């Protein structure tokens, strides 16, 4: 095994593609409905949105990097296919920015759908102006180093969630979720059901017909009220 093809410094094969039909279907689903369909435990926490409003939906190409170093993020961008999302485990470190405007332009030219960075970014005005989807832990003007090591297409930890290359990333104004490739159809169906239930609840609430008895029942069970 080459010293540059071992855990800690390697590029693994690309994951299987996700169909255009699945991508299109998830573009119409909000993240709360997806999260509710995954027991409310499977979302990313702690990252903020640095673009305006564009929805992020695409296959994850992952990169695990040394804090403050973006060599393997460059490699991930170079091998990404149109519609992919670059997902970076930067250890949550915000002392050096891992991506900025130049990398945003590189990614946009290649057709990359967006960035998810558990670390810092810079040139945030550029992300906002381009409305190029970017979620990150924080921002700083201090730029990155380019030495490595790092890994591409390995499982990464992002805001309390393990994301693997090939997972579907969905991001909107409420945050980010990731769905494993073998669960896409099932979660989509459950999310559609959740949307229908919530629509029915909204109609009932507006009509003054929402049933509220469960509140007192639960409080009685807890001994709060008689």
Q: What is the pLDDT of residues 160-191, one digit of tens each?
A: 999 999 999 999 999 999 999 999 999 999 99
pTM: 0.94
In angstroms and rounded to an integer, the radius of gyration of the C-alpha atoms of the chain is 20
Query: Residue 84 domain-assigned?
Result: yes
Domain assignment present for 209:
no
Q: Is residue 40 part of a domain?
A: yes
Evaluate whether residue 190 is within a structural domain: no
User: What pLDDT score does 6 carry?
Assistant: 83
Q: Given this model, what pLDDT does residue 114 score?
A: 98
| pLDDT, position 143 | 97
| Residue 63 within a domain | yes
Q: What is the CATH number of the domain that holds 134?
A: 3.50.30.40
Residue 90, domain extent: 9-181
Instruction: Supply 217's token pair.
Output: 């029942």
Residue of 3, 2, 73, 30 whose CA lies nearest to 175: 30
Number of domains in the chain: 1
60: in domain? yes
* Structural domain contains residue 151: yes
> Does 221 fall in a domain?
no
Residues of the chain with pLDDT under 50: 1-2
- Give the model's pLDDT for residue 7: 87
């Amino acid at each position: 095994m080459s010293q540059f093809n071992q855990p800690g410094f390697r590029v693994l094969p690309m994951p299987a593609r996700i169909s255009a039909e699945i991508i299109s279907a998830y573009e119409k689903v909000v993240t709360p409905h997806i999260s509710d369909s995954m027991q409310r435990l499977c979302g990313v926490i702690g990252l903020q949105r640095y673009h305006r409003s564009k929805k992020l939906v695409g296959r994850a190409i992952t990169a695990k990097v040394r804090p403050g170093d973006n060599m393997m993020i460059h490699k991930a961008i170079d091998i990404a296919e149109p519609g992919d999302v670059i997902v970076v485990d930067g250890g949550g470190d915000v002392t050096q920015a891992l991506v900025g405007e130049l990398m945003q332009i590189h990614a946009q030219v290649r057709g990359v759908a967006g960035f998810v960075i558990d670390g810092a970014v810079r040139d945030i005005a550029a992300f906002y102006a381009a409305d190029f989807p970017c979620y990150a832990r924080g921002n700083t003007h201090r730029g990155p180093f380019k030495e490595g090591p790092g890994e591409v297409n390995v499982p990464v930890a992002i805001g309390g969630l393990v994301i693997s290359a090939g997972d579907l990333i969905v991001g909107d104004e409420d945050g980010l979720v990731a769905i494993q490739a073998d669960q896409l159809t099932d979660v989509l169906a459950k999310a559609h059901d959740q949307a229908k239930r919530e629509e029915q609840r909204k109609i009932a609430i507006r009509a003054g017909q929402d049933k509220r008895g469960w509140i007192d029942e639960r409080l009685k069970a807890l001994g709060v009220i008689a």
